[in-house]
Amino acid sequence: MDDIIPAERIENRIYLIRGQKVMLDRDLAELYGVKTKALNQAVKRNPGRFPSDFMFQLNREEKNRLVTNCDRFEMLKHSSSLPYAFNEQGIAMLSSVINSEKAIQVNVAIIRIFVKLRRILSTHKKLAQKFKELEDKLGKHDVEIQAIFDVLRRLMAPEEKTIKKIGFV
C-alpha cells in the first residue's frame, strides 16, 4: 500500500500557504486519478464535510505567487478559476467523498506523510529549545568561563625572571 505513490512525490506537493501545510485540488485530483473538476464537484456536493478550517480557496495574489514560484503551475497563469487548498483534515475527508480504492490508498499515504512532517517539525522544535537553553546557561557563565581562561593563560605563560648582570658597572 505504501508503494502506490512515492513519498517524495507527495512531499513535493505540500505547500505552506496561510501558515498551513496544504495540498492543492489539482495535485490531489492527479494523485487520485480523477479530474480536478470532479474532485471540486464532490467537495461542493458535501459542504458540511469541508468547513473553512479544512480547506480554503486561494486568492489571486496567492495563485500568482504560486505560478511565479512553481513552473508546474504555469497552466494556472491564465486560468480564471482559483485553486482550492486542503489541509490534513480536508484531505482525510476527501476519501469519504471520492469513493475509490485508489483514493483510499492515496489518502493513507498522504496522511502518513503529514504525520511524518509533523514529527520532524516537533523534533526540530525540541532541538531548537535545547540549544536555546544551552545558550542561556552559557550566557550566564560567560564571565566565569572567561575568568578561568585568563587564569589558565597566566599559569601557562613563561615566568619572567630578572637576570642580574655580571661584571663591573
Residue 27 is part of a domain; what is its CATH number? 3.10.260
Predicted confidence (pLDDT) at residue 48 exceeds the cutoff of 60: yes
Task: With respect to residue 141, please indicate whether it lies within any of the assigned structural domains.
Answer: no
> Strand, helix or coil at 102?
helix
Rounded mean pLDDT of 155-164?
59
pLDDT category of residue 2 using cuts at 50, 70 and 90? very low
Domain range for 96 is 2-125
pTM: 0.64
Residue 145 predicted with pLDDT over 60 = yes
Q: Which three cell numbers stand for residue 62?
A: 496567492
- Sign for the CA dihedral angle at 98, 82, 90, 51 comes to negative
User: Per the domain annotation, does 88 fall within a domain?
Assistant: yes
15, 43, 154 from 55: Cα distances, Å: 13, 10, 67
Does a structural domain hold residue 169? no
Neighbouring residues of 22: CB distance < 8 A, sequence distance ≥ 6? 14, 15, 16, 85, 86, 87, 90
For the chain, give the mean pLDDT. 79
Better-predicted residue by pLDDT, 1 or 95: 95
Tell me the torsion sign for CA atoms 14, 16, 19, 24.
Answer: negative
Q: Indicate whether 130 belongs to any domain.
A: no
User: What residues contact 139, with CB distance under 8 A and at least 6 apart?
Assistant: none
Tell me, what's the pLDDT at 169? 60
Classify residue 158: in a domain, yes or no.
Answer: no
Domain annotation covers residue 131: no
The mean pLDDT of 134-158, rounded to a whole number, is 65
pLDDT at residue 149 is higher than 70 = no
Asked, for residue 59, whether it belongs to a domain, the answer is: yes
Using a pLDDT cut of 90, give the percent of the chain over it: 25
Number of domains in the chain: 1
Q: Is the pLDDT of residue 162 over 70?
A: no
Q: Which helix (H) or strand (E) holds 15?
A: strand 15-17
Residue 144 lies in a domain: no
Give the whole-number percent of the chain exceeding pLDDT 70. 75
